[in-house]
Amino acid sequence: MDDIEGKVLSNRAIAPGYCLLRIRLSRSMGAARPGQFVMMKIPGEDIFLRRPFSIYDYQKGVLTIMYKVVGKGTERLSKTPKGASILTLGPLGRWFTVNRSASPVVVAGGIGFAGVYSLIKTLRGNSSIFFGCSAINEISLLKDAMRFHPLVATLDGSYGFKGNVVQLFKKHLKGLKDKNVEIFTCGPDNMVKSLKQLIEPYKIPCQVLLEERMACGMGLCFGCVKKTTDVQEPYKRVCKEGPVFDLWEIFL
Ligand SMILES: Cc1cc2nc3c(=O)[nH]c(=O)nc-3n(C[C@H](O)[C@H](O)[C@H](O)COP(=O)(O)OP(=O)(O)OC[C@H]3O[C@@H](n4cnc5c(N)ncnc54)[C@H](O)[C@@H]3O)c2cc1C
Ligand code: FES
């Protein structure tokens, strides 16, 4: 797989510390499935490793990434102007698989929303969506998904339910656990861990998109391994065998 060159069409802040980047690719990257990601070479000689980002949207040769500024690479990315050239490699990794006989439930926290949005879109409103963030000023992350009526939790109670997204989901679990549901999730480690604890007694099927640190993103360096319940080959590469895993097969 080769890098694809792209030109930045827009790169703008959508909430404090969050940006939306649109890039016109110079050639097609082929079909991108929900949960897949790209490795992006951020402009600048001093940022050596590519960074992984979920494919938020990909249509008519335009790739959209939603990202949170957390460090050197994303800080630099946020300052990359319109017209700049960026190299991307993808689509990479394994995607979410939807069991058509189950009702989909999406649980996302913060920038984890970027990992599940393309799935939400594919499900065309046929999913229950739970989203959690810190405060009302992050609600604009949900702009494209508002038409699917997400249920929202904010830590400070400035919008929707006051508390975290797992506490919000817990309030609805009673009605869901006897139904045939499947959960799709992406978010901070502590969110995924507490979600797992909550649904453990009911063994609800759940696929999780893991945002592990990556170096090559292509299965070569083994820098992203996660321990699983597979007795024969317990260590799986998040970039190759993931980033989407069965929650019940992963040690968090
Ligand atoms: C499959 C996948 C999809 C991802 N999709 C998105 C996305 O759509 N939008 C988005 O904003 N981010 C996404 N990430 C996370 C993103 O890759 C990191 O935030 C980014 O690489 C950080 O680069 P940096 O140079 O700014 O931070 P660094 O300077 O490298 O690190 C700054 C801080 O961020 C933490 N950090 C770095 N990488 C990660 C990571 N992978 N997960 C959690 N914490 C990390 C570090 O521990 C450190 O505290 C994804 C990661 C993976 C593996
Ligand atoms: S990042 Fe190199 S093997 Fe996954």
Contact between 98 and 105 under an 8 Å Cβ cutoff? The reply is no
pLDDT band at 100 (very low <50, low <70, confident <90, very high): confident
Task: Give ranges for CATH 3.40.50.80 in the chain.
Answer: 103-209
Evaluate whether 35 touches 95 at the Cβ level (below 8 Å): yes
Residues within a 6 A CB radius of ligand 1 = 37, 51-54, 65-68, 70-74, 111, 114-115, 211-214, 243
The pTM score is 0.96
The mean pLDDT value for 120-149 works out to 95
> Residue range 219-228: average pLDDT?
96
Q: How far is the CA of 80 from the centre of ligand 1 (A)?
A: 17
CATH superfamily of this structure's domain 4-92: Translation factors (2.40.30.10)
pLDDT recorded at residue 178: 72
The torsion region of residue 79 among left (phi > 0), alpha (psi -120 to 50) and beta comes to alpha
Give the pLDDT score at 1: 81
d(CA 235, CA 222): 9
Q: What percent of the chain has pLDDT over 70?
A: 100
For residue 222, give the ligand 2 atom closest to its CA.
3
Residue 51 alpha carbon to ligand 1 centre in Å: 7
Q: Report the alpha-carbon distance of residue 242 to residue 15 in Å, rounded.
A: 29
* One-letter identity of residue 54: S
CB contact at 8 A, 225 and 192: no
Per-residue pLDDT tens over the stretch 19-30: 999 999 999 999
pLDDT confidence bin for 45, thresholds 50/70/90: confident
CATH topology of domain 103-209: Rossmann fold (3.40.50)
The 10s digit of each residue's pLDDT in 49-73 is: 999 999 999 999 999 999 999 999 9
Identify whether the C-beta of residue 24 lies closer than 8 Å to the C-beta of residue 6.
Answer: yes
Mean per-residue pLDDT, 99-104: 89
Within 8 A by CB and 6+ apart from 77, the residues are 11, 19, 21, 40, 42, 51, 67, 69
- Residue 163, class by beta-carbon neighbours within 10 Å (0-12 exposed, 13-18 middle, 19+ buried)? middle
* Cα 164 → chain centroid: 18
Q: Which residues lie below 8 Å from residue 190, measured CB to CB, with a gap of 6+?
A: none
For tokens 């009302």, the residue is: 136
Nearest to 41 by CA among 65, 15, 9, 13: 65
For tokens 């592990």, the residue is 212
User: Could you tell me if the CB of 235 is within 6 A of ligand 2?
Assistant: no
Check residue 44 and give its pLDDT.
86
Q: Rounded to an integer, what distance in angstroms lies between the CA atom of residue 198 and that of residue 248?
A: 13
Question: Strands 51-54, 37-41: parallel, antiparallel or unpaired by DSSP?
Answer: antiparallel
Secondary structure letter of residue 31 according to DSSP? -
Tokens 């009702």 correspond to what residue?
Answer: 103
Pocket test for ligand 1, best of 14, 117, 211, 252 (most atoms within 8 A of CB): 211
Q: Where in the chain is the domain with CATH 2.40.30.10?
A: 4-92
What pLDDT does 171 receive?
Answer: 94
As a whole number of angstroms, the distance between CA 192 and CA 185 comes to 7
